[in-house]
C-alpha cells in the first residue's frame, strides 16, 4: 500500500497562492501600525462688534439656522486657485458647517449688543416678534492676481411675525459681502481672514436689524 504524506499548507507553500499576494499582505499589515493623520479644525475668532449706544428695543428677536449654498455645504476649507476651479485644503477643515458657524457667531454678537430684549436661538420653542433668516452664499479663499482674499457672502431676511399678512411680514431682505486680504496662504491665514470678514458683516447686519426693527416698533 502506498503511503500518502500530508504536506503542511500555508500562504508561502500553497501552489495557488502567488508570492506577490504574500508581499502585499505584509505591506498592508505594516501600514496598520502608522499613526493616523491628524485633521486640523478651525473656527472664527474675533471680538463681538460694539454697536453705537442705542436704546434697547422692547421686543425679542430669533435667529434661525442659516442655509448654505451647495458648493460650500460641508466643513471643507475651499479655495479658488483660478477661474472655474475649486479646491479644498487637505487635512484642514472648519469645525462645523459654515451655516452653523455664521448662525452661532451672529447669535452671540446680537446678544452682546444688548439691542434687543432677548435674542433666541434656533432651538428655542419661543418666538420673538422679529425673526432673522439667512444663508451663506459664499465662503472661500480667492487666489487673485492682486493677492489672496477671504470672501464671505451672506443674505439676510428680517421678518415681523406680528404682521398677519405674509406680504407685510418681510421687513427687509439684503445681501452682504466682505473680502479680507490674507497675510499668508495657509488654512490658518484663511481662518484669520474669514474671521475679519465675519466681524465686519456681523456689525453691518446688527445695525441694519436694529434700525429696521426700531421703525416697526414705532
- Report if residue 141 sits inside a domain: yes
User: In Å, how far are 14, 29, 99, 118, 210 from 21, measured between CA atoms?
Assistant: 12, 12, 47, 66, 69
pLDDT at position 118: 97
Residues 14, 187: Cα–Cα separation, whole Å: 52
- Confidence class for position 9, pLDDT limits 50, 70, 90: very low
- Confidence class for position 167, pLDDT limits 50, 70, 90: confident
Coil vs helix vs strand at 113? helix
DSSP line for 100-112: HHHHHHHHHHHHH
pLDDT digits (tens, 9 = 90+) for 202-213: 999 999 999 999
Cell numbers linked to 83: 477661474
CATH number of the domain that residue 177 is part of: 3.40.50.10610
pLDDT at position 124: 96
- Report if residue 82 sits inside a domain: yes
User: Per the structure, how many domains does the chain have?
Assistant: 1
- Report if residue 26 sits inside a domain: no
**Is the distance from CB of 93 to CB of 39 less than 8 angstroms?**
yes
Cell numbers linked to 180: 479680507
- Report if residue 192 sits inside a domain: yes
- Report if residue 184 sits inside a domain: yes
Range of the domain at 128: 61-217
pLDDT digits (tens, 9 = 90+) for 96-120: 999 999 999 999 999 999 999 999 9
Q: Which residues have a Cβ under 8 Å from the Cβ of 79 and sit 6 or more positions away?
A: 86, 87, 88, 89, 140, 141, 142, 143, 190
- Report if residue 210 sits inside a domain: yes
- Report if residue 37 sits inside a domain: no
CA angle 138, 141, 144 (to 5 degrees): 115
- pLDDT reading at 189 higher than 80: yes
Name the β-bridge partners of 136.
68, 154
| Maximum separation of any 2 CA atoms in the chain, in Å | 113
Q: Give the mean model confidence (pLDDT) for residues 166-195.
A: 96
User: In Å, how far are 96, 135, 155 from 69, measured between CA atoms?
Assistant: 15, 7, 11
Residues 191, 33: Cα–Cα separation, whole Å: 33
pLDDT at position 30: 52
- Report if residue 55 sits inside a domain: no
**Of the candidates 99, 163, 166, 101, which has an alpha carbon nearest to the alpha carbon of residue 134?**
99
Q: Give the mean model confidence (pLDDT) for residues 125-148.
A: 96
DSSP 184: S
Amino acid at each position: 500500500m502506498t503511503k500518502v504524506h500530508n504536506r503542511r499548507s500555508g500562504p508561502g507553500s500553497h501552489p495557488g497562492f502567488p508570492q506577490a499576494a504574500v508581499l502585499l499582505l505584509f505591506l498592508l499589515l505594516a501600514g496598520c501600525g502608522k499613526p493616523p493623520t491628524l485633521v486640523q479644525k478651525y473656527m472664527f475668532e474675533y471680538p463681538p462688534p460694539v454697536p453705537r449706544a442705542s436704546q434697547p428695543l422692547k421686543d425679542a428677536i430669533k435667529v434661525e439656522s442659516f442655509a448654505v449654498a451647495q458648493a460650500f455645504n460641508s466643513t471643507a476649507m475651499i479655495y479658488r486657485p483660478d477661474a472655474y476651479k475649486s479646491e479644498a485644503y487637505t487635512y484642514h477643515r472648519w469645525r462645523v458647517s459654515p451655516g452653523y458657524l455664521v448662525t452661532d457667531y451672529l447669535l452671540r454678537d446680537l446678544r452682546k449688543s444688548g439691542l434687543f430684549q432677548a435674542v433666541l436661538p434656533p432651538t428655542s420653542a419661543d418666538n420673538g416678534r422679529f425673526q432673522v433668516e439667512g444663508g451663506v452664499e459664499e465662503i472661500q479663499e480667492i487666489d487673485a492676481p492682486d493677492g489672496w482674499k477671504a470672501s464671505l457672502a451672506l443674505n439676510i431676511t428680517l421678518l415681523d411675525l406680528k404682521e398677519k399678512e405674509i406680504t407685510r411680514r418681510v421687513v427687509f431682505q439684503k445681501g452682504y459681502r466682505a473680502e479680507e486680504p490674507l497675510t499668508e496662504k495657509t488654512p490658518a491665514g484663511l481662518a484669520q481672514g474669514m474671521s475679519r470678514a465675519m466681524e465686519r458683516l456681523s456689525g453691518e447686519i446688527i445695525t441694519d436689524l436694529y434700525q429696521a426693527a426700531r421703525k416697526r416698533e414705532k
